C-alpha cells in the first residue's frame, strides 16, 4: 500500500511543523522570507515551493542573480533547486508520494531552510545592488 496525503500530514505533525491544510495543499509559515512553504500533492507527486522574489528588471543584476542561483543549485542544494516561473524566482523540489518517508521530507525541508537562511538575504542584496 502506497503513501497518502494523510501520511504527509502525519509526517509534518511528527516533525513538529506548524501548517495549514486546504484540500491537497499545506502551507508552512516561514519567518525567514515572509512567505510560506507550499507543499501540494497532485497526481501522486509531492511538490514543495517557496516564492523567493521577483527577477530584477536590470539586465546586469539579472545576470548576477541567475549566476548565483545556478551556483547554489550545484554547491549547496541536494533536494531542491532554484528556478524562474514567469518573473518570480522560486525554490522547489518534488518527490513521488509513494516514496515519501519521514527522513526524506525532513531532508527536503532542511534544504529549503538552508536556502532561506543563507542564500536569500544575499540574493536580495544582489538583486537591488
pLDDT single digits (tens) 41-83: 998 999 999 999 899 999 999 999 999 999 999 999 999 999 9
The pLDDT of 84-90, averaged and rounded, is 94
**The cell 525554490 sits on which residue?**
91
The structural domains of the chain, with segments of one domain joined by +, span 5-128
For domain 5-128, which CATH number applies: 3.40.1390.20, 3.40.50.300, 3.30.1460.10, 3.40.50.970? 3.30.1460.10
Q: Which helix (H) or strand (E) holds 82?
A: strand 81-85
* CA gap 32, 12 in Å, rounded: 19
- B/e letters for 82-104, b = 16+ CB within 10 Å, e = fewer, are beeeeeebbbbbbbebeebeeee
Please give the pLDDT value at position 106. Answer: 95
Count of CB atoms within 10 A of residue 56's CB? 20
For the whole prediction, is pTM greater than 0.75? Answer: yes
With contact defined as beta carbons under 8 Å apart, do 41 and 99 qualify? no
Amino acid at each position: 500500500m502506497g503513501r497518502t496525503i494523510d501520511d504527509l500530514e502525519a509526517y509534518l505533525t511528527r516533525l513538529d511543523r506548524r501548517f495549514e491544510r486546504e484540500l491537497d495543499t499545506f502551507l508552512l509559515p516561514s519567518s525567514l522570507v515572509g512567505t510560506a512553504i507550499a507543499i501540494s500533492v497532485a497526481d501522486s507527486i509531492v511538490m514543495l515551493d517557496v516564492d523567493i522574489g521577483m527577477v530584477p528588471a536590470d539586465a546586469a543584476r539579472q545576470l548576477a542573480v541567475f549566476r548565483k542561483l545556478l551556483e547554489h543549485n550545484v554547491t549547496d542544494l541536494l533536494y531542491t533547486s532554484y528556478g524562474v516561473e514567469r518573473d518570480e524566482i522560486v525554490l522547489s523540489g518534488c518527490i513521488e508520494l509513494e516514496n515519501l518517508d519521514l527522513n526524506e521530507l525532513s531532508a527536503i525541508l532542511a534544504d529549503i531552510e538552508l536556502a532561506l537562511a543563507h542564500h536569500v538575504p544575499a540574493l536580495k542584496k544582489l538583486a537591488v545592488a
